[in-house]
Amino acid sequence: MNQPLKINLTNELLELENFIIHRSCDIEQWFRIQWLENQAPFYGSVDLRNSGFKLAPVDMNLFPGGFNNLNPDFAPLAVQAASVAIEKVCPEAKKVLIIPEKHTRNLFYLKNLFQFKEILKNSGLEVRIGTVDSNILEATDILIDDHQSITLEPIQRRDDILYIKDRDGTEFVPCSVILNNDLSGGVPEKIKDIGQQVIPPINAGWPTRRKSSHFRYYSQVAKEFSLLTKCDPWLIDPLFKKIDNLDFSTREGEDKLVETIDNLLHQIQNKYDEYNISQDPYVVIKADAGTYGMGVMTVKKSSEAINLNRKMRKKMSVVKEGLSVSEVLVQEGIHTEETINSAVAEPVVYMIDHFVIGGFYRVHTLKGKDENLNSPGMHFAPVAFDTSCLMPDQGRPCHDKANRFYAYGVIARLSMLAAAKELAEK
Amino acid sequence: MNQPLKINLTNELLELENFIIHRSCDIEQWFRIQWLENQAPFYGSVDLRNSGFKLAPVDMNLFPGGFNNLNPDFAPLAVQAASVAIEKVCPEAKKVLIIPEKHTRNLFYLKNLFQFKEILKNSGLEVRIGTVDSNILEATDILIDDHQSITLEPIQRRDDILYIKDRDGTEFVPCSVILNNDLSGGVPEKIKDIGQQVIPPINAGWPTRRKSSHFRYYSQVAKEFSLLTKCDPWLIDPLFKKIDNLDFSTREGEDKLVETIDNLLHQIQNKYDEYNISQDPYVVIKADAGTYGMGVMTVKKSSEAINLNRKMRKKMSVVKEGLSVSEVLVQEGIHTEETINSAVAEPVVYMIDHFVIGGFYRVHTLKGKDENLNSPGMHFAPVAFDTSCLMPDQGRPCHDKANRFYAYGVIARLSMLAAAKELAEK
């Protein structure tokens, strides 16, 4: 990324970033102790927003789908981190099966799958990709570019064991199954109650996971971390409320929604007043379970969230693979103030185990600062971080990229830590 | 390194390299299981030789001194590996003290120290360098280049606790002490029986360590590994014998030396005959304890090892810091057949914990193929490996650099595994 990265920070956020960069030893020691007590999930990605007065995660994905967007120069870092993760969860494993999403037509996703497979292969695993897509009846090669292809194979099951059957009749029986499928469509029958270890566990999928639960843990983690930094936890923690029993199509629960939005906007305005922030508060309404940016709405007034037209109601009622929305997260919106060549840029940080292996920016020239970049039809350009997130350089100014990326890695790890606590509870 | 790397391999070695590269999954799984049972030393470097018919370690250093020769592009890999190592041995540590060698005038060594300190700092430790050199009475800054300097400080001791006293009277009390000093001159009084954890442990130093013990364990490891590769372990294992009670200055024990050399040369010749190797066997005679290439002699006939002139006798009797030689290792010499731009090149692989973090070549234009490159007065040019050792690429030919470096990393890890067993025994 040779493009200049631009953002102006308020004094408070500058102070926090300063602390993070200049007190990295304290921070790393704090994390070391946290990781002794909490087992990090196998992998994850964290969407961050930097408004100049607030730097916080807005989403934490336990089935990351953008490995293809990372800087290939840091691939060895991912391989090394994967080796550690494998040593922890399945040291004796030799063969693993990746179960991907069903997006066989999404070339970006397939490229992600290819890169993720390469990482596992290089960390010393024999890897096959077994799909639960019932349309795939035999091994299918799909070209992902001029030179490389990926093979999706149908999964077989005997008793509680998953395997892949080769054309010559031999069987590939994996020691472990690695999910790159967030199970938004429910847990497929084929992978229920299997004998092999599933990584991450099935309850990390959306049928059981809730964003509100993640952010509840995250708030706790942010508070503890802020005892160290002596900063207001709000600087790194988005406010939120959860609503149950909301039905956008029948408009059941709209009163509660209005009340919640008003309440949250009021809380945000209070914080804005405290910090002399002149921008308009807004909230993001999204499904408490689910991903891929369907069912996401951005409002500055509660009235914008009701009286939706039929199209919007439909959009908000259904998320990926038809899972319907009734639990909703209303989250403080964080203005995206970072730009690359005057285009809005939002950082995504990638982790394997508790190691930050890289990240990229979602860059979009058309969107506004308070819109969700991860929405359907969105054509973001990924721009890989061009330095690692591991090298805070105390000789350079805070806004130096290596330093900023280090700070992003710290906030992302807080979110990963929250996810660790979240999964331990289940 | 844009220079072409040249070497021709025999069929047997090609087969082994092929196995290593194409069966990396089996190899990594094998290592994973080994590391479950054996705790790798904190760090280490391995000197390898590649003769085209044999690829083996000839030295394993538990206090590596060439971090400055590694490719800076892979610094994040070292930082990540150091994070894992620290999590294992001293997760709660925040402050550490490095105790270096006394070579305060060796700029290369000081640059190494600077880089090693940077790695630890970036992995989240507060690091100071405390020397046992009694000539250093106060904090001393030494410039290592135009921009950077390193500060050596005298170590204080109260009861069994080491610390550094600042000019303002405050004390830096480290949680752990990291040795980058091989203790060739004996264990300094100041660091005997201290309360802080010493990493690696003091018995990893030359007063207690023996090369013969390392290579005994290495032979065992090489045999086990060869069960996997189904190759002759000799391809990766240098033959050796140990001699006690040899005194080069009084010529005591020379008979035994002659017998041992003849014996070993005979064994090597037998292996050469088995593989139709036309080169002349030779052996390397070195101190069983000690390092830095003093007291090293290369001979093709036993008669060359006796009737030494006074200068040679002196050279062989004394190693670093005056430690005298009486235990001697006679090791199969491995011809250096690798060249970079027609200069002899010998690989050195660096590890932190059990992770290969990089390596470099010692390149020398004047030396012959069977001479020791690590000798006093030697001016080798270090040439950093330009790809990581973690990415065997199964689509590329074996002699591709990424593949060769991966193979080097595998052999180096075998040596690290032997060191793990060696330290566990003490």
Nearest to A74 among B31, B76, B121 (CB): B76
Which candidate, B94, B181, B111, places its Cα nearest to that of B147?
Answer: B111
Q: Is the dihedral of CA A253, A255, A256, A262 positive or negative?
A: positive
Burial class (CB in 10 A: 0-12, 13-18, 19+), B382: middle
Which residue of B29, B38, B73, B356 to mutate against A (max A Cβ within 10 Å)? B29
Measured distance CA(A333)–CA(A240) in Å, rounded: 9
Residues A218, A341 share a domain: yes
Q: How many CB atoms lie within 10 A of CB A303?
A: 11
Which candidate, A148, A140, A150, A1, places its Cα nearest to that of A69?
Answer: A1
Which residue of A26, A74, A95, A390 to mutate against B (max B Cβ within 10 Å)? A390
Backbone angles phi, psi at B107, to 5 degrees: -60, -35
Quote the pLDDT of residue A246: 85
Nearest to A80 among B24, B81, B91 (CB): B81
In a domain, B360, yes or no: yes
pLDDT over 70 (residue B292)? no
For the record, the structure tokens of B235 come out as 């391809």
- How many residues belong to chain A? 426
Residues A244, A230 share a domain: no
Which residue of B28, B34, B352, B393 to mutate against A (max A Cβ within 10 Å)? B28
B126-131 and B95-100 beta bridge pairing? parallel
Measured distance CA(B30)–CA(B20) in Å, rounded: 12
Quote the pLDDT of residue A291: 57
pLDDT band at A3 (very low <50, low <70, confident <90, very high): low
A381-384 and A161-165 beta bridge pairing? unpaired
In the numeric block, the tokens 């830096």 are attached to: B172
The alpha carbons of chain A give a radius of gyration, in whole angstroms, of 21
Average pLDDT over residues A356-376: 71
Q: What is the pLDDT of residues B311-336, one digit of tens each?
A: 777 777 765 555 566 889 999 999 98
Measured distance CA(B323)–CA(B140) in Å, rounded: 28
Angle at B193 between CA B192 and CA B196, to 5 degrees: 105
Q: What is the DSSP letter of A406?
A: H
- Cβ pair A124:B32 closer than 8 A: yes
Residues A281, A317 share a domain: yes
- Cβ pair B87:A35 closer than 8 A: yes
- How many residues belong to chain B? 426
Asked which of B333, B367, B398 is the last residue of a domain, the reply is B333
For chain B, how far is it from start to end, CA to CA, in angstroms?
Answer: 40
Cβ-Cβ contacts under 8 Å, B228 against chain A: none
Cβ-Cβ contacts under 8 Å, B73 against chain A: 73
Are the beta carbons of A393 and A378 closer than 8 angstroms?
no
In the numeric block, the tokens 């240098």 are attached to: B238
- Cβ pair B390:A79 closer than 8 A: yes
Which of 6-65 (A) contact B at CB < 8 A? 24-29, 31-33, 35-36
Average pLDDT over residues A57-79: 95
Are the beta carbons of B128 and B153 closer than 8 angstroms?
yes
Cβ-Cβ contacts under 8 Å, B79 against chain A: 388, 390-391
Asked which of B158, B186, B204 is the last residue of a domain, the reply is B204
By C-alpha distance, the chain B residue nearest A84 is B84
Residues B314, B342 share a domain: no
Q: What is the pLDDT of residues B362-374, one digit of tens each?
A: 987 665 555 555 5
Residues A197, A94 share a domain: yes
In a domain, B219, yes or no: no
Which candidate, B260, B413, B417, places its Cα nearest to that of B327?
Answer: B260
In the numeric block, the tokens 């029958």 are attached to: A189
Residues A346, A227 share a domain: yes
In the numeric block, the tokens 């060439």 are attached to: B66
In the numeric block, the tokens 């029948």 are attached to: A250
Which residue of A23, A24, A27, A28 to mutate against B (max B Cβ within 10 Å)? A28
pLDDT band at B111 (very low <50, low <70, confident <90, very high): very high
Measured distance CA(B224)–CA(B233) in Å, rounded: 9
For the record, the structure tokens of A213 come out as 């639960």
Asked which of B333, B365, B383 is the last residue of a domain, the reply is B333
In a domain, B55, yes or no: yes
Angle at B269 between CA B265 and CA B274, to 5 degrees: 150
Residues B80, B49 share a domain: no
Distance from CA of A234 to the nearest CA of B (A): 25
Are the beta carbons of B27 and B228 closer than 8 angstroms?
yes
In a domain, A68, yes or no: no
Backbone angles phi, psi at A289, to 5 degrees: -125, 130
Question: Residue B116 sits in a domain of what CATH number?
Answer: 3.40.50.11280
Distance from CA of A76 to the nearest CA of B (A): 6
Measured distance CA(A82)–CA(A105) in Å, rounded: 27
Residues B78, B184 share a domain: yes
- Cβ pair B122:A32 closer than 8 A: no
Quote the pLDDT of residue B375: 52
- Cβ pair B86:A32 closer than 8 A: yes
State the count of interchain CB pairs (< 8 A) between A and B: 102
Residues A400, A306 share a domain: no
For the record, the structure tokens of B385 come out as 């490996």
Measured distance CA(A375)–CA(A287) in Å, rounded: 13
Cβ-Cβ contacts under 8 Å, B27 against chain A: 124
Are the beta carbons of A307 and A266 closer than 8 angstroms?
no
Distance from CA of B125 to the nearest CA of A (A): 5
Cβ-Cβ contacts under 8 Å, A86 against chain B: 32
Cβ-Cβ contacts under 8 Å, B72 against chain A: none
Judge whether A352 is closer than 8 Å to chain B, CB to CB.
Answer: no
By C-alpha distance, the chain A residue nearest B120 is A25
Q: What is the pLDDT of residues A199-239, one digit of tens each?
A: 999 999 998 999 999 999 999 999 999 999 999 999 999 99
Residues A184, A81 share a domain: yes
Nearest to B26 among A26, A94, A391 (CB): A94
In a domain, B233, yes or no: no
Quote the pLDDT of residue A201: 96
Are the beta carbons of B362 and B373 closer than 8 angstroms?
yes
In a domain, B272, yes or no: yes
Cβ-Cβ contacts under 8 Å, A84 against chain B: 84
Nearest to A76 among B27, B29, B391 (CB): B391
Are the beta carbons of B122 and B77 closer than 8 angstroms?
no
Cβ-Cβ contacts under 8 Å, B87 against chain A: 32, 35-36
**What is the 3 state secondary structure string of A266-335?**
HHHHHHHHHCCCCCCCCEEEEECCCCCCCCEEEECCHHHHCCCCHHHHHHHHECHHHCECCCEEEEECCC
For chain A, what is the mean pLDDT? 89
Residues A291, A169 share a domain: no
Residue B384 three-state SS? strand
- Cβ pair B122:A390 closer than 8 A: yes
Average pLDDT over residues B186-197: 94
Measured distance CA(A239)–CA(B100) in Å, rounded: 50
Q: What is the pLDDT of residues B4-30, one digit of tens each?
A: 667 788 888 888 988 999 899 999 999
In this prediction, the answer to ipTM > 0.95 reads: no
In a domain, B12, yes or no: yes
Quote the pLDDT of residue B377: 44
Quote the pLDDT of residue B293: 45
Cβ-Cβ contacts under 8 Å, B355 against chain A: 80, 83
Q: How many CA atoms lie within 13 A of B3 on its CB side?
A: 18
Which of 263-322 (B) contact A at CB < 8 A? none
In chain B, how many domains are there? Answer: 3
pLDDT over 70 (residue A117)? yes
Cβ-Cβ contacts under 8 Å, A93 against chain B: 29
Query: If residue A152 lies in a helix (H) or strand (E), which one and from where to where?
Result: strand A149-154
In a domain, A91, yes or no: yes
Residue B71 or residue A380, greater confidence: B71
Residue A37 structural domain: 1-62+209-235+335-426
For the record, the structure tokens of A243 come out as 């609503």
Residues B260, B356 share a domain: no
**CB neighbours of A293 closer than 8 A, spacing ≥ 6?**
A372, A374, A375, A376, A378
Cross-strand pairs, B47: B59, B348
pLDDT band at A1 (very low <50, low <70, confident <90, very high): very low
